[in-house]
Chain A
Amino acid sequence: MSMRDDNTHSTDDLAADYVMGLLEGAELAAAEARMTDDAEFARAVSAWRERLADLDATADALAPSAALWDRIADSTRVKPEIPLPGARAALRGATLWDNISFWRGAGIGGVFAALMLVVVLIGALATSRQLRRELIALAQRKPIYVAVLVNDTTREAGAIVNTFSDGRVELIPLRPIDVPAGRTLQVWTLWDRSIGPKSIAVTSQSRTLQLDLEELPEAVPDQQFEITLEPEGGSPIGQPTGPTLFKGNAARAL
């Protein structure tokens, strides 16, 4: 009788059922998870939403009670978190992303790692006055995401990337980086393997940079940052060509 076996839902059937509101329980949770990490599914969902949107438009406009806005204003006092672009998940459900304790843990971990670095660097290394000021300033402000960039072989931390709620991103070197003549340092970020790394800065020397992420989606947890050594003026092919000096993933700060 049915055209397809219910157990072998195609992506499109599943997207249609999801938009229709016909999924429940585990199926619904699975579909919501797919919204975050399956671009094809998310596209199919958007297409179904657009197809059915005229039905929503037939709803009467009914006045809400006067108190509703006050309640909403009360519940939205806190600034929104920077979400993950991979998600595009308008209707994301109770996934790991919504798990406060997971992020609290990750946040504590991230801050702890950053503070350890501050302590180690201020105390043990012959840190320049300039760097010390920057590290103290860093500790005083509140980045949303912190990435500690580490050298893969030596395990030395080379730089910190901070992402702030206003979209500002800064890269703070933790040690001088030797840049040979005719070469340059290039900073890359990778948030989606299907798109590949994007250049966010080219610099001739190791110094604090305000990075320009305007063209890119907002920073996300686990977004990768790396610094490579490239020919002067930056990589000619728009992809890292030289050795990776330091790299690391962003973790959510508290």
Chain B
Amino acid sequence: MTGNGTITETQRDEAGLAHAHEAQLSAALARCAAGDHAALQMIYNSEAPKMIGIARRILFRQDLAEEAVHDAFVRIWSAAASFDPHRGSARGWLYAVVRKPALSIHRNEHRYDASDDSALDIDCAATVTRMPETSALRKCLEGIDRPRRDAVVLAYVHGMNYGELAGRLKVPLGTVKSWVRRSLFSLQECMG
């Protein structure tokens, strides 16, 4: 029982830390909007490694990932004021900002093909189990059967488009589209 107490305490501490970090990021974005360059650097120091990680899952190459993160920070600097804390988290906003150039570089410069070894290493199941057990997204994704769930993970995490998904999952384009649509529908139902 004492063990349980400790786990609860730890989770509460982690939630508290995450909350404080989120508040700091929000404040830093507001300062960026007011032209405070030190706030941009603070965001960089705190979030750039994670953003590189997000971009690398889409682009695989470090140089391309850094290109995406560069573009993301230029965007953060120019558009920080468009972040609305009532709509969503600062973290979510920052990650969406890096996803955009990463996806666009991926579409323009780097496509998966049969000979792309890096794409073969992708382990969708591992990605899902890396989410904390308390994650509603994890629970809801686990409620979706494997190949259909993989379509969502491959598209979101690795930036695959329908054609790439169809190739990798070895099903027709129409099938993969329908898998994605149904999976997103169940996610929405499940998460509310």
Contact = CB atoms under 8 A, between A and B. Distances in A.
Contact of A81 (B44, B78, B175, B182): B78
User: Chain A: interface residue count, which band?
Assistant: 35 or more
B100 A75 contact: no
B69 interface: yes
Given A3-B182, A51-B188, A54-B135, A75 B74 contact: yes
Contacts of A165: 35
B82, B136, B157: which has the most chain A beta carbons within 10 Å? B82
A126 interface: no
A80 B77 contact: yes
A91 interface: yes
B20 interface: no
A59 B178 CA distance: 27
Nearest to B91: A53
Nearest to B100: A91
Given A2-B181, A20-B155, A165-B35, A82 B89 contact: no
A207 interface: no
A63 B44 CA distance: 11
Interface string A20-45: 11101000000000000000001100
Interface residues of B, number: 72
Interface string A75-109: 11001111111011111100000000000000000
Interface string B109-133: 0000000000000000001001110
A69 B45 CA distance: 9
A79 B35 contact: yes
Interface stretch (A11-19, A146-154, A171-179): A11-19
A62 B88 contact: no
> Main secondary structure on chain B at its contact with chain A?
helix
Interface string B150-182: 001101110101100000000000110110111
A68 interface: yes
Contacts of B138: 54
Contact of B52 (A57, A63, A81): A63
A89 B50 contact: no
A51 B82 CA distance: 20
A25 to B, nearest CB: 9
Contacts of A54: 131-132, 135-138
Contact of A4 (B48, B70, B181): B181
Given A1-B174, A59-B57, A62-B56, A88 B84 contact: yes
A44 to B, nearest CB: 10
Contacts of A16: 184, 188
A43 B131 CA distance: 25
A149 B187 CA distance: 51
Interface string B74-105: 10011111111001110111011101100100
A207 to B, nearest CB: 28
A116 interface: no
A12 B191 CA distance: 14
Contact of B156 (A20, A24, A47, A85): A20
A215 interface: no
Interface of A: 1-4, 6, 12-13, 16, 19-22, 24, 42-43, 46-47, 49-65, 68-69, 71-73, 75-76, 79-85, 87-92, 165-167, 218
19 contacts: A1-B178, A2-B178, A12-B188, A16-B188, A19-B156, A24-B161, A52-B156, A56-B95, A58-B130, A59-B50, A59-B157, A61-B49, A61-B50, A62-B52, A72-B70, A73-B37, A85-B81, A85-B82, A91-B100
* Top 7 A-B pairs, shortest CB-CB distance: A59-B53, A61-B49, A58-B130, A46-B87, A76-B77, A56-B95, A46-B88
Interface of B: 32-35, 37, 40-41, 44, 48-50, 52-54, 56-57, 62, 65-66, 69-70, 73-74, 77-84, 87-89, 91-93, 95-97, 99-100, 103, 107, 127, 130-132, 135-138, 152-153, 155-157, 159, 161-162, 174-175, 177-178, 180-182, 184-185, 187-188, 191
Given A68-B48, A72-B44, 5 more contacts: A3-B181, A6-B177, A55-B137, A57-B91, A80-B33
